[in-house]
Amino acid sequence: MRNIVITGGTDGIGKALAMTYLERGDRVIVVGRNAEKGFALLAAARDMNAGERASFIQAELSLVLENKRVIEEIKDRLPALDALVLCARHYRSSRMVTAEGFEDNFALFYLSRFVLSYGLIELLEKADNPIIANVAGPGYNLSAIQWDNLELARDYHGGAALGQGGKLNDLLGVAFAENNKGSRIKYALFHPGIVSTSFSGEYDESTAAHITELKKHGKSIADAVAPIIARMDAPPAEPLSAFVEGERISVEHEAFGKSAARRLYEMTLSLLMERISNGQT
């Protein structure tokens, strides 16, 4: 029995992954905000006689402190962690800043994944073939990053925040692999394609109309999840890999450059330190 933690596991791709692993006999912890959705997933797990292997942690993952609490709860509950699956995401047409002072999309889509990836290393190292699956949007568009405007304090646009977030996650993977040379943990980045999910978010009118179209034409969740599961079952030998709709893409590309990844890693640490020293986290 493997131990799997899935953020954003109460809906969409994360939920489908959770149900698949429960069906397989694994132990699954899902993390999400909405308690009703969490309890519904637990009820579904009981219906398939997997109730004792399923659990739910309710958390607001856009807050660093909440991520730290989640890490401690996971450490209390599991002796080892085989897979950490990162799926939580929430679109915002209007810029919002968290109580800790971070732009919300940056905090949830990137910072949460940073804190959880590094915070769970020790537990992952106790598993036989540990993997971190970061489901975002790997690709070659390094210019999506506004280095002097990481939290989009100027010219905010939800699409820009999302696009940048995908690229930040690519660099998170690069830096993680560099910082953990010799580790058995594999870091795999996944772009599922356009998938007809709930598209968690708060949308202005024109974006909402666009999302309705995406939901109509997107692939099914089952079709999106199958290649992710297959790759997670047999990850490449390399510490870092990336896939777009099941196809492996090269990370030997300047968009996955080590210096950009190091730069982001250092900026992230100093942002965390700065807010910590301000007493905000």
Ligand X SMILES: NC(=O)c1ccc[n+]([C@@H]2O[C@H](COP(=O)([O-])OP(=O)(O)OC[C@H]3O[C@@H](n4cnc5c(N)ncnc54)[C@H](OP(=O)(O)O)[C@@H]3O)[C@@H](O)[C@H]2O)c1
C-alpha–C-alpha distance, residues 125 and 138, integer Å: 25
The residue at minimum Cβ distance from ligand X is 12
Q: Which of 50, 46, 72 has its CA nearest to residue 59?
A: 72
For the chain, how big is the Rg over CA atoms in Å?
A: 18
Q: Nearer to ligand X by C-beta: 143 or 198?
A: 198
By CB under 6 A, residue 198 contacts ligand X: yes
List strands edge to edge, sheet with 131-135: 54-58, 27-32, 3-7, 83-86, 131-135, 186-191, 240-244, 247-249
Strand partners, 248: 243
Tokens of 252: 């030997």
Q: How far is the CB of 182 from ligand X (least distance, A)?
A: 28
- 200 touches ligand X (CB under 6 A): yes
CB of 70 to ligand X, least distance (A): 9
Residue closer to ligand X (CB basis): 45 or 108: 108
Task: Report, in Å, the least distance between residue 69 CB and ligand X.
Answer: 12
| Closer to ligand X by Cβ: residue 87 or 175 | 87
Helical pair 258-277 and 158-179, crossing angle rounded to 10 deg: 100
136 sits near ligand X (criterion: CB under 6 A): yes
CA 114/CA 210 separation, integer angstroms: 30
Q: How far is the C-alpha of 203 from the C-alpha of 220, rounded, in Å?
A: 22
Q: Binding of ligand X at residue 108 (CB under 6 A)?
A: yes
Binding segment toward ligand X, per CB under 6 A, in 69-77, 145-153, 196-204, 225-233: 196-204
Cβ 264 vs Cβ 142: under 8 Å: no
Q: Does 105 bind ligand X (CB under 6 A)?
A: no
Q: Which residue's CB is nearer to ligand X, number 219 or number 253?
A: 219
Nearer to ligand X, 169 or 268 (CB): 169
Q: Which of 32, 158, 173, 235 binds ligand X (CB under 6 A)?
A: 32
Are 121 and 91 a contacting pair, CB within 8 Å? no
11 binds ligand X (CB under 6 A): yes
Q: Which stretch binds ligand X (CB under 6 A): 30-38, 141-149, 171-179, 262-270?
A: 30-38
CB of 35 to ligand X, least distance (A): 8
In the DSSP assignment, the letter for residue 219 is B
Nearest CA to 168 out of 250, 76, 276, 89 is that of: 89
Binding site for ligand X (CB under 6 A): 8, 10-14, 32-34, 37, 59-62, 87-90, 108, 135-137, 191-192, 194-195, 197-200, 218
